[in-house]
Amino acid sequence: MSAATDCPLCSGDGGDVVWRGASARVVLAPEPLFPGFTRVILTEHHAEMSDLDAARRAELMALVNCVEEAQRALLRPDKINLAALGNVVPHLHWHVIPRWRDDSHFPAPVWSAAQRDGAARIARVQPLVAEYRAALAARLAARQSP
Amino acid sequence: MSAATDCPLCSGDGGDVVWRGASARVVLAPEPLFPGFTRVILTEHHAEMSDLDAARRAELMALVNCVEEAQRALLRPDKINLAALGNVVPHLHWHVIPRWRDDSHFPAPVWSAAQRDGAARIARVQPLVAEYRAALAARLAARQSP
């Protein structure tokens, strides 16, 4: 199936669109606790990676890797977190999350309870996001896409 | 770097080893709330996917996909969750987690607070794990590995 009528990732962008290709888009996620949190969202409505053929899985992971590389180069996080969950919105989307030891949840996943307010880290990362966004858009545009 | 002396995934298997290849192993995770929870663990000690070249990333994701397909075929979960976090143990390992609407945490990630005890679902899945393990081992052994 290519679209689902009640799916928010079929009917909306799911964030600030940094890049849009035929098979997927890359958005800055509206996650104020985690500046730089980026999602790679499949265009078509499929729930699982194994619903895609190998070439489409590879293309999606190449986009995820491009985001990861841009985050490491521009934001210099302590760790990258990658996840495709989709329990609430079963439309394939990859979370690419830059993490720092002093962010609100570290070392727990961002879906756990907060361990501190993380405001100091947010204040350090937020000013880098515009440059990260521009560099990410350039890297994605420069990719050789099938 | 190929090994880290204080890393539990360099010094130990991290679970019940279902299959071991040169570049990675696949283990059943010791996660009693989530029968079938499987991890794909890189052999060498690297923290991030982007530390690997494209061929090694592809090989790791092929293993993840093999696990996902075996879970769908044998366990028939409502959703698959994939994640590479590594905040606590920064040695690349992929979580491949079969999820059901009545498991202890659904629709939240397994790292969130439990929403119910999930005992009825555990009791339904646990008897399938031995057959899943055997089928997964066979699928992994049958793969064309580089």
Q: What is the pLDDT of residue A4?
A: 82
Residues near B106 by Cβ (< 8 Å), separated by ≥ 6? Answer: A87, B78, B79, B99, B100, B115
Listed residue (A63, A60, A39, A40) closest to A49, CA to CA: A60
Residues 21-50 of B with CB under 8 A from A: 47-50
pLDDT digits (tens, 9 = 90+) for B25-80: 999 999 999 999 999 999 999 999 999 999 999 999 999 999 999 999 999 999 99
For B49, which of A47, A82, A83 is closest by C-beta distance? A82
Q: What is the pLDDT of residue A55?
A: 97
> At B57, phi and psi to the nearest 5?
-60, -45
Which of B49, B52, B74 to mutate to probe the A interface, most A CBs <10 Å? B49
Q: Strands across the sheet with A16-20, in order?
A: A16-20, A24-28, A38-42, A93-99, A79-84, B79-84, B93-99, B38-42, B24-28, B16-20
Query: What average pLDDT does the segment B96-118 reach?
Result: 97
Q: What is the pLDDT of residue B80?
A: 98
Please calculate the CA angle B34-B36-B40 and round it to the nearest 5 degrees: 110
Q: Give chain B positions within 8 Å (CB) of A79.
A: 47-48, 85-87, 90
How high is the ipTM of this complex?
0.96
Q: Are B68 and A79 within 8 A, CB to CB?
A: no
For A65, which of B57, B62, B85 is closest by C-beta distance? B57
Q: Which long-range contacts (CB under 8 A, 24 or more apart) does A46-49 make?
A: A46/A1, A46/A91, A46/A92, A47/A86, A47/A90, A47/A91, A47/A92, A47/B79, A48/A86, A48/A92, A48/B68, A48/B72, A48/B79, A48/B80, A49/A84, A49/A92, A49/B64, A49/B65, A49/B68, A49/B80, A49/B82
Element (H, E) at B132: helix B129-142
Q: pLDDT category, B146, cuts 50, 70, 90?
A: very low
pTM passes above 0.90: yes
Spell out, as residue ranges, where chain A has pLDDT lower than 70.
Answer: 1-2, 145-146
Q: What is the DSSP letter of A61?
A: H
- State whether residue B73 sits within 8 Å of chain A by CB: no
Q: What is the pLDDT of residue A146?
A: 47
